[in-house]
Amino acid sequence: MATTALTPETHDETVQDGIVLIDFWAEWCGPCRQFGPVFERVSEENPDARFVKVDTEAEPELAARYGVTSIPMLVIYRDGIPVFGQPGALPQPALEDLLRQVRELDMDQVKVAYEQQLASAQAGGSDRKASTDPTSF
Protein backbone atom coordinates (compact mmCIF):
# COMPACT_ATOMS: atom_id res chain seq x y z
CA MET A 1 0.00 0.00 0.00
CA ALA A 2 1.39 3.37 -0.94
CA THR A 3 1.54 6.22 1.50
CA THR A 4 -1.02 9.01 1.36
CA ALA A 5 -1.05 12.61 2.55
CA LEU A 6 -2.80 13.45 5.82
CA THR A 7 -4.63 16.75 6.17
CA PRO A 8 -6.58 18.35 9.03
CA GLU A 9 -9.78 17.45 7.16
CA THR A 10 -8.90 13.74 6.89
CA HIS A 11 -7.10 13.34 10.23
CA ASP A 12 -9.85 12.17 12.59
CA GLU A 13 -11.37 9.66 10.18
CA THR A 14 -7.93 8.33 9.22
CA VAL A 15 -6.74 7.56 12.76
CA GLN A 16 -9.96 6.13 14.18
CA ASP A 17 -9.57 2.49 13.09
CA GLY A 18 -6.76 -0.03 12.76
CA ILE A 19 -3.06 0.73 12.75
CA VAL A 20 -2.01 4.10 11.35
CA LEU A 21 1.57 5.33 11.05
CA ILE A 22 2.09 9.07 10.56
CA ASP A 23 5.38 10.42 9.24
CA PHE A 24 5.88 14.15 9.86
CA TRP A 25 8.48 15.42 7.38
CA ALA A 26 9.66 18.33 5.23
CA GLU A 27 11.37 18.44 1.85
CA TRP A 28 14.40 20.36 3.19
CA CYS A 29 15.05 17.82 5.96
CA GLY A 30 17.94 15.44 5.25
CA PRO A 31 16.93 12.78 7.81
CA CYS A 32 13.37 12.96 6.41
CA ARG A 33 14.68 12.21 2.92
CA GLN A 34 16.58 9.26 4.39
CA PHE A 35 13.56 7.90 6.29
CA GLY A 36 11.03 8.45 3.46
CA PRO A 37 12.07 5.43 1.35
CA VAL A 38 12.13 3.20 4.47
CA PHE A 39 8.59 4.32 5.38
CA GLU A 40 7.48 3.69 1.78
CA ARG A 41 9.00 0.17 1.63
CA VAL A 42 7.47 -0.87 4.94
CA SER A 43 4.09 0.50 3.79
CA GLU A 44 4.23 -1.70 0.70
CA GLU A 45 5.02 -4.79 2.79
CA ASN A 46 2.24 -4.17 5.35
CA PRO A 47 -1.11 -3.61 3.64
CA ASP A 48 -2.98 -4.17 6.92
CA ALA A 49 -1.74 -0.81 8.25
CA ARG A 50 -2.23 2.72 6.91
CA PHE A 51 0.85 4.81 6.25
CA VAL A 52 0.28 8.55 5.97
CA LYS A 53 2.60 11.50 5.66
CA VAL A 54 2.31 15.08 6.90
CA ASP A 55 4.41 17.69 5.13
CA THR A 56 5.00 20.08 8.03
CA GLU A 57 5.49 22.98 5.61
CA ALA A 58 2.14 22.38 3.89
CA GLU A 59 0.22 21.40 7.05
CA PRO A 60 1.63 23.52 9.90
CA GLU A 61 -1.60 23.20 11.89
CA LEU A 62 -1.20 19.42 12.12
CA ALA A 63 2.44 19.79 13.12
CA ALA A 64 1.37 22.26 15.82
CA ARG A 65 -1.46 19.99 16.98
CA TYR A 66 1.10 17.24 17.64
CA GLY A 67 3.71 19.58 19.09
CA VAL A 68 6.23 18.58 16.42
CA THR A 69 9.53 20.35 17.09
CA SER A 70 11.87 17.86 15.43
CA ILE A 71 11.48 15.93 12.19
CA PRO A 72 11.14 13.34 11.01
CA MET A 73 8.66 12.37 13.67
CA LEU A 74 6.75 9.11 13.71
CA VAL A 75 3.37 8.77 15.42
CA ILE A 76 1.45 5.50 15.54
CA TYR A 77 -2.23 5.01 16.34
CA ARG A 78 -4.08 1.81 16.97
CA ASP A 79 -7.87 1.84 17.04
CA GLY A 80 -7.98 5.61 17.49
CA ILE A 81 -5.49 5.69 20.37
CA PRO A 82 -1.99 7.15 19.99
CA VAL A 83 0.38 4.42 21.16
CA PHE A 84 3.78 5.72 19.99
CA GLY A 85 5.42 9.01 19.15
CA GLN A 86 9.10 9.73 18.65
CA PRO A 87 11.27 11.98 16.50
CA GLY A 88 14.12 10.60 14.43
CA ALA A 89 14.69 8.44 11.39
CA LEU A 90 14.44 4.70 11.98
CA PRO A 91 16.18 1.95 10.04
CA GLN A 92 13.83 -0.48 8.32
CA PRO A 93 14.30 -3.35 10.83
CA ALA A 94 13.45 -1.01 13.72
CA LEU A 95 10.30 0.26 11.98
CA GLU A 96 9.22 -3.31 11.19
CA ASP A 97 9.80 -4.34 14.82
CA LEU A 98 7.84 -1.35 16.08
CA LEU A 99 4.94 -2.29 13.82
CA ARG A 100 5.09 -5.86 15.18
CA GLN A 101 4.94 -4.53 18.74
CA VAL A 102 1.92 -2.36 17.94
CA ARG A 103 0.13 -5.37 16.45
CA GLU A 104 0.80 -7.34 19.66
CA LEU A 105 -0.58 -4.72 22.04
CA ASP A 106 -3.36 -5.81 24.39
CA MET A 107 -5.82 -3.14 23.35
CA ASP A 108 -8.14 -3.79 26.30
CA GLN A 109 -5.32 -2.74 28.65
CA VAL A 110 -4.35 0.18 26.40
CA LYS A 111 -7.95 1.47 26.33
CA VAL A 112 -8.21 1.38 30.13
CA ALA A 113 -4.90 3.22 30.54
CA TYR A 114 -5.85 5.75 27.86
CA GLU A 115 -9.22 6.49 29.47
CA GLN A 116 -7.45 7.02 32.82
CA GLN A 117 -4.98 9.36 31.13
CA LEU A 118 -7.81 11.38 29.55
CA ALA A 119 -9.65 11.61 32.87
CA SER A 120 -6.48 12.71 34.63
CA ALA A 121 -5.76 15.35 31.98
CA GLN A 122 -9.32 16.69 32.22
CA ALA A 123 -9.24 16.75 36.01
CA GLY A 124 -5.95 18.60 36.00
CA GLY A 125 -7.18 21.19 33.51
CA SER A 126 -4.48 20.22 31.03
CA ASP A 127 -4.20 22.40 27.92
CA ARG A 128 -2.86 19.52 25.88
CA LYS A 129 -5.22 17.12 24.19
CA ALA A 130 -4.18 13.65 25.23
CA SER A 131 -5.76 12.26 22.08
CA THR A 132 -3.12 13.97 19.96
CA ASP A 133 -0.16 13.75 22.29
CA PRO A 134 1.23 10.27 21.73
CA THR A 135 4.43 11.11 23.58
CA SER A 136 2.48 11.35 26.83
CA PHE A 137 1.14 7.80 26.57
* Topology of the domain covering 4-136: Glutaredoxin (3.40.30)
Q: Which residues pair with 23 in a beta bridge?
A: 53, 74
* Catalytic pick among 6, 32, 62, 102: 32
DSSP 136: G
53 is catalytic: no
Span 91-122, pLDDT tens digits: 999 999 999 999 999 999 999 999 998 898 88
Would you list the domain boundaries of the chain? 4-136
Q: CB under 8 Å, gap of 24 or more: what pairs does 105-114 form?
A: 105/78, 107/78, 107/79, 107/81, 110/78, 110/81, 110/83, 111/79, 111/81, 113/137, 114/81
pLDDT at 74 over 80: yes
* Catalytic pick among 29, 75, 102, 130: 29
pTM: 0.86
111 is catalytic: no
Span 33-71, pLDDT tens digits: 999 999 999 999 999 999 999 999 999 999 999 999 999
